[in-house]
Amino acid sequence: MENTIQQPVTKTICYHCGEDCDNDSIETDEKIFCCHGCKTVYEIINQNNLCSYYDIETAPGINQKKAIRSGKFDFLDDAKIKSELIHFKDSEQEHITFYLPQMHCSSCIWILENLKKINPGITRSQVNFIKKDVTIVYDFKKTTLKKVAETLTLIGYEPHISLNNAEGKKVKKTDNSRIVKLGIAGFCFGNIMMLSFPEYFSMGEIEDPKLQQWFNYLNLILSLPVFFYSASEFFVSGYKGLRQKFLNIDAPIALAVLITFLRSVYEILLETGSGYLDSMSGIVFFMLVGRYFQNRTYQNISFDRDFKSYFPLGVSVINSDNTEKQVSVSDLKPGDRIKIHHDEIIPADGILFLGKATIDYSFVTGESLPVEKSIGEIVYAGGKQTTGAIEMEVVKETSQSYLTQLWNNETFKENKEEPKKSFIHSVSRYFTYSLFSVASIAAAYWAINDTSKIWNAVTSVLIVACPCALLLSATFTNGNMIRILNKYKFFVKNESVIERMESIDTVVFDKTGTITEQTQSEIHFEGNPLNQEQNRIIRSLAGQSNHPLSRHILSCLPFDKTLPVKSYEEIKGQGTTATIAGSLVKIGSAQFVTGSNHFSSSRGSRIFVSINDEFLGCFVIQNNYRKNLREIISALKNQFQLKILSGDNASEEPFLKTVFGNQTEMLFNQKPEDKLRVIKKLQQRKRKVLMIGDGLNDAGALKQSDVGIAISDNTNTFSPACDAILSGKNFILLNELIRYCRKQKQIIYSSFVLSVVYNLVGLYFAVQGDLKPVIAAILMPASSVSIVLLTTGMSAFYELKLKRMNLTKVSFSPDTHHS
Amino acid sequence: MSAFFIMIGASLVLAVGFLIAFIWSVKSNQYEDDYTPSVRMLFDNTTNQKKDKETKQQSTKTK
């Protein structure tokens, strides 16, 4: 019936989700929907008078074509699971925070904050859009956690609940103390500066000495919170470094702050001068700003995910009396019989018991085609079941399974970022040594000429030449670069990642999902186009088999009726054959269909077809490579040694050779541990490795490598633990992004040179034992501001090329899309 | 000169007031999410309530 409706030429767009409606659109209330799911959601929203949802933004909904199994949230009724998830409970209410990756617009916020109109048991719901979560307060006498989750699912926001949620990771308290420190330092700095103005203008001589004294004491009081609270992190970190016999950058800074403070207190109490409290609080303020700027974290991106955020939380266990019970995955024991529904992830290694298993391991092992398993075979955890429900018996606990064992490797216990490695610290050490020598030369000089000036000169030198300029250079450069990289959807975990990028000389790629698109591989028919009769026959035969390749063929043929199949035969590893409508049909390998084997040279997997021994052509399944792969690789090839580490079979090797060249080493059929080991071996040969991967099977390699970049087409759902996440859309910018990161040192050094000039000017006054507070007060902000300007300017300048690339990428894409 | 003391004292008291307000806002997690509130304040509650009333009236009429 649906086929008879003639659609106008203009595209109709679903009122709910905004996707193109194909021939089978549904109409209600003069609104058009692409599927029943979208219509249902609309009806619920309409019934509850929440149609403003569609007024705030057009077509804000989430596509509902993929139906969600009822009973999916049954595990939320389990008291133990529930208690792990909810983070607050009193006699009436429970609080729960759900992560909703689908959230994308202001309509989403609106509907989610009006949940109480759909489910009256909900008392309050509050969205945090940046974290993409919603905190729901509900009355547990009127509704249950399961019903709350189902309410969300009903309107298209299926909560993402993984094993990770349950294991002690409740609402994280963000540490606000740095912002408070910053605020206090800023406040004191501003007021001390203001109270020092009279002194600046009269250059140290104020008519009323009493007033001057009063100002000084006020300054002293104002500087106390700066010294004891705001600057505390420099003292703590410097002290920690010294205890480990390591002179980090914080130690000389703490020394400078300490000496400035002591000398100022001494001067003020003895009424000999007004001290340098303005400079001290200013320095602390600027350094805290720099640190804050550098360490601003992305709340919505997590870099430390492991298999726990990929695995489900609950699973149905079948009891001996055939009843189903919901159990937390972490409580699964060997011997349990579990039921895996369509599209669910297998939570533990087990033996297939019942049903037809076709498991998609692409994310776990890198195999691009689903694997078929028959009853009695071992099924590994992490795969996604794609053909209906199966039952299996658990052999190993989740944490002991084949895949998750990777996380027991010692690589995951190490921490890559040792602060000692940062070059800033070694530069600051040289700086400190030369500073001490300048101070001691000045001391020696004055010891001969004028002993009263020794104390003055030495303290002045230490005050004026504090390595804070170096710290500022580094923090502002890193902050700027992280911000700019962020703009290009390249999210780095922290500043040390940028620094480590500098030394990279080898780039290792994963294949599936990294240089190919994460979506299903492409299939097309080569040969004369099939007519309707042929199409019908091939469809009917392919529909008989559950082999992944047959299912693939089915997906690319237009829908038609099924013909009766006679004398069907499936020969393992060869193909299938049957008599349909009086013709003998064969689908399978070249050997099986044509009897010869001369087609094997070309790219991709091929499935040959013949009807009545007349060869018709073949279906070609190809990996869908990312756009502009050739250009990126040829650019990278000149600078780095490249390598491919794939968990998939070698069928794509000939094609990859044409892209990467013959020198590039390619390893296929690599298990997760193998990948890790290969990286380790490269490092033993003093290679600095950049690993680019996407799936769980790359997790070990990403962790072991010097820099691990995860390619992700959806940064919100899942990416393995890594140092940086790059959006799949911006893969083309990879080369430029690496180049950009490598400018970091250059920028820091240039701004450091600038600050040395300021330091020399300051030292000129300091060694003479004649540093007036006003000079210190001018030099300090002047150098800080010029460093900020220089680093911002330079990082923006180097960004220009990246910007140009990004623009050409946009203009490129329509052409490349067709090819 | 005593004017100075009063003025400076007053300005400091005022500034400390703002500092306390700032610290309070940080401690009460107002910097947690700086996007959602900006959208939330634009939602039009009044028209929605009107619509609700209208539909309620309609439903009572049909009854």
Q: What is the pLDDT of residues A280-302, one digit of tens each?
A: 999 899 999 988 888 776 655 66
Q: What is the pLDDT of residues A593-615, one digit of tens each?
A: 877 765 554 556 778 888 888 88
For residue A374, CA distances in Å to A346, A353, A451 come to: 15, 9, 93
As a CATH number, domain A522-622 is: 3.40.1110.10
For residue A525, the number of C-alpha atoms closer than 13 Å in the C-beta half-sphere is: 20
Q: Residue A810: exposed, middle, or buried by beta-carbon count in 10 A (0-12, 13-18, 19+)?
A: exposed
Tokens in use for B30?
């107002």
Q: How many Å apart are CA A373 and CA A386, to the nearest integer? A: 11
Task: Report the pLDDT value the prediction gives residue A809, as an integer from 0 to 100.
Answer: 64
Listed in sequence order, the residues at least 6 apart from A366 whose beta carbon sits closer than 8 Å to its beta carbon are: A510, A511, A512, A513, A646, A647, A648, A670, A695, A697, A698
Give A751 to chain B, closest Cα distance, Å.
31
Residues of chain A with CATH 3.40.50.1000: 503-517+626-741
Mean pLDDT score across all residues of chain A: 81
Task: Report the pLDDT value the prediction gives residue A258, as an integer from 0 to 100.
Answer: 92
Q: How confident is the model at residue A159 (pLDDT cuts 50, 70, 90)?
A: confident
A163: three-class secondary structure by DSSP: helix
Q: How many Å apart are CA A523 and CA A554, to the nearest integer? A: 10
Q: What is the pLDDT of residues A92-146, one digit of tens each?
A: 888 888 888 778 788 888 888 888 888 888 888 888 887 788 889 998 888 888 8
For residue A573, CA distances in Å to A274, A300, A372, A588, A592 come to: 90, 46, 12, 8, 10
pLDDT at A556 over 80: no
Where do the H-state alpha helices sit in A596-664?
629-637, 653-660
Answer yes or no: do A130 and B35 touch at CB < 8 A: yes
Q: What is the pLDDT of residues A541-550, one digit of tens each?
A: 887 776 777 7
Tokens in use for A643?
């390598």
Q: Residue A579: exposed, middle, or buried by beta-carbon count in 10 A (0-12, 13-18, 19+)?
A: middle
Give A581 to chain B, closest Cα distance, Å.
60
Q: What is the pLDDT of residues A764-800, one digit of tens each?
A: 888 887 777 778 878 877 888 888 899 999 999 999 8
Give B45 to chain A, closest Cα distance, Å.
10
Task: Report the pLDDT value the prediction gives residue A75, as an integer from 0 to 100.
Answer: 82
Task: Read off the pLDDT of each residue in A156-169 and give the average, rounded to a whole number.
Answer: 72
Angle between helices A177-202 and A232-243 (to 10 degrees): 110
Portion 722-761 of A in contact with B at CB < 8 A: none
Task: Read off the pLDDT of each residue in A154-162 and give the average, rounded to a whole number.
Answer: 82
Answer yes or no: do B40 and A113 touch at CB < 8 A: yes
pLDDT at A413 over 70: no
Read off φ and ψ for residue A37, nearest 5 degrees.
-60, -50
DSSP string computed for A377-436: SEE-TT-EE-SS-EEEEE-S-GGGSTTGGGGGSGGGGS-S--GGG-HHHHHHHHHHHHHH
Q: How confident is the model at residue A689 (pLDDT cuts 50, 70, 90)?
A: very high
Q: What is the pLDDT of residues A305-332, one digit of tens each?
A: 677 777 777 788 888 887 888 888 878 8
Answer yes or no: do B43 and A49 touch at CB < 8 A: no
Q: Residue B45: exposed, middle, or buried by beta-carbon count in 10 A (0-12, 13-18, 19+)?
A: exposed
Which of B24, B40, B49, B52 is best to mutate for the A interface (most A CBs within 10 A)? B40
Topology of domain A503-517+626-741, per CATH? Rossmann fold (3.40.50)
Task: Report the pLDDT value the prediction gives residue A728, as an integer from 0 to 100.
Answer: 82
Tokens in use for A133?
């979560």
As a CATH number, domain A313-346+349-394 is: 2.70.150.10
- Looking at residue A440, the DSSP 8-state letter turns out to be H
Task: Report the pLDDT value the prediction gives residue A553, as an integer from 0 to 100.
Answer: 80
Task: Report the pLDDT value the prediction gives residue B1, as an integer from 0 to 100.
Answer: 62
Contact pairs from chain A to chain B, CB under 8 Å: 65
Q: Which residues of A touch B39 (CB under 8 A)?
A: 106, 109, 129
Q: What is the pLDDT of residues A642-679, one digit of tens each?
A: 999 888 877 778 888 888 888 888 888 888 888 888 99
Give A53 to chain B, closest Cα distance, Å.
10
Q: How many Å apart are CA A752 and CA A467, to the nearest integer? A: 10
Task: Report the pLDDT value the prediction gives residue A604, as an integer from 0 to 100.
Answer: 62
- How many whole angstroms from its chain centre is CA A427? 31
- How many whole angstroms from its chain centre is CA A535? 44
Give B22 to chain A, closest Cα distance, Å.
8
Q: Which residues of A touch B31 (CB under 8 A)?
A: 176, 179
Task: Report the pLDDT value the prediction gives residue A535, as an integer from 0 to 100.
Answer: 83
Using CA coordinates, name the residue in chain B closest to A207.
B1
Residues in chain B, how many? 63
- A187 contact B CB<8A: yes
Q: How many Å apart are CA A459 and CA A428, to the nearest integer? A: 19
Q: How confident is the model at residue A717 (pLDDT cuts 50, 70, 90)?
A: low
Answer yes or no: do B32 and A113 touch at CB < 8 A: no
Residues of chain A with CATH 3.40.1110.10: 522-622
Give B62 to chain A, closest Cα distance, Å.
16
Q: How many Å apart are CA A82 and CA A412, to the nearest integer? A: 30
Q: How many Å apart are CA A120 and CA A117, to the nearest integer? A: 6
Q: How many Å apart are CA A102 and CA A109, to the nearest integer? A: 11
Q: Which residues of A touch B32 (CB under 8 A)?
A: 128, 174
- A110 contact B CB<8A: yes
- A48 contact B CB<8A: no
Q: What is the pLDDT of residues A5-51, one digit of tens each?
A: 444 445 677 888 877 776 667 777 778 887 777 888 888 888 888 88
Answer yes or no: do A183 and B48 touch at CB < 8 A: no
Higher pLDDT, A513 or A818: A513
Q: How confident is the model at residue A173 (pLDDT cuts 50, 70, 90)?
A: low
Q: Which residues of A touch B42 (CB under 8 A)?
A: 106
Task: Report the pLDDT value the prediction gives residue A602, as an integer from 0 to 100.
Answer: 52
Q: Which residues of A touch B18 (CB under 8 A)?
A: 187
Task: Report the pLDDT value the prediction gives residue B14, as an integer from 0 to 100.
Answer: 93
Q: Which residues of A touch B3 (CB under 8 A)?
A: none
Task: Report the pLDDT value the prediction gives residue A316, as an integer from 0 to 100.
Answer: 84
Q: What is the pLDDT of residues B8-63, one digit of tens each?
A: 889 899 999 999 999 999 888 887 777 888 888 877 665 444 444 444 444 444 44
Of A51, A52, A130, the CB nearest to B33: A130
Answer yes or no: do B23 and A183 touch at CB < 8 A: yes
Task: Report the pLDDT value the prediction gives residue B62, as an integer from 0 to 100.
Answer: 46
A664: three-class secondary structure by DSSP: coil
Tokens in use for A687?
């290679």
Q: Which residues of B touch A176 (CB under 8 A)?
A: 26-27, 29, 31
Q: In this structure, are strands A689-693 and A707-712 parallel, antiparallel, or unpaired?
A: parallel
Q: Which position has the token pair 């006020």? A: A218
Task: Report the pLDDT value the prediction gives residue A54, as an integer from 0 to 100.
Answer: 83
- A292 contact B CB<8A: no
Please tell me the class of the A74-166 domain: alpha beta
Listed in sequence order, the residues at least 6 apart from A574 whose beta carbon sits closer than 8 Å to its beta carbon are: A588, A589, A591, A592
Of A128, A131, A184, the CB nearest to B19: A184
ipTM: 0.75
Portion 700-719 of A in contact with B at CB < 8 A: none
pLDDT above 90 covers a percentage of chain A that reads 10
Answer yes or no: do A49 and B51 touch at CB < 8 A: yes
Best-predicted range by mean pLDDT among A4-13, A378-387, A480-489, A625-634?
A: A480-489
Q: Which position has the token pair 């995955």? A: A329
- Determine which helix (DSSP H) or strand (DSSP E) holds A325, and give its type and residue range: strand A324-328
Closest to A771 in 3D by CA, of A260, A370, A154, A71: A260
Answer yes or no: do B26 and A183 touch at CB < 8 A: yes
Using CA coordinates, name the residue in chain B closest to A52.
B48
Task: Report the pLDDT value the prediction gives residue A4, as an integer from 0 to 100.
Answer: 43
Confirm if A435 and A762 have CB atoms less than 8 A apart. Answer: no
Higher pLDDT, A204 or A652: A652
Domain positions in chain B are 2-62
Rounded to whole angstroms, the maximal C-alpha distance in chain A is 116
Read off φ and ψ for residue A709, nearest 5 degrees.
-110, 125
pLDDT at A812 over 50: no
Of B32, B36, B44, the CB nearest to A174: B32
- Looking at residue B13, the DSSP 8-state letter turns out to be H
